[in-house]
Amino acid sequence: MMDLFQRPANLNRLRLSLGLLGITTAAAFLVWLLAGWLGWVPGMVDVFGVEGMRTPAAISVAALLLAALSFWEC
């Protein structure tokens, strides 16, 4: 395992960027879910169907896992 001070600086920027991308993606699906419930946009069920609801759920979980791995301190 590398010492904390021997890590390249661009790795920290990359991890920060990936973490923010994951949080942004999951937040976008959450906003879409809430806006769909209020009737402001087409709901996820209208777009994906009941059987296709696994798609946005899988994307959200993958984005949150990406954020968790990116912000995890080794």
64 within 8 A of 19, measured Cβ to Cβ: no
pLDDT tens digit string along 17-60? 999 999 999 999 999 999 999 999 999 999 999 999 999 999 99
Which conformational region is residue 39 in: left (phi greater than 0), alpha (psi within -120 to 50 degrees), or beta?
Answer: left
Looking at residue 12, its pLDDT comes to 84
Which letter, b or e, does each residue of 42-66 get, where b requires 16 or more Cβ atoms within 10 Å of its Cβ? eebeeeeeeeeeeebeeebeebeeb
55 within 8 A of 48, measured Cβ to Cβ: yes
pLDDT tens digit string along 7-26? 556 668 889 899 999 999 99
49 within 8 A of 56, measured Cβ to Cβ: no
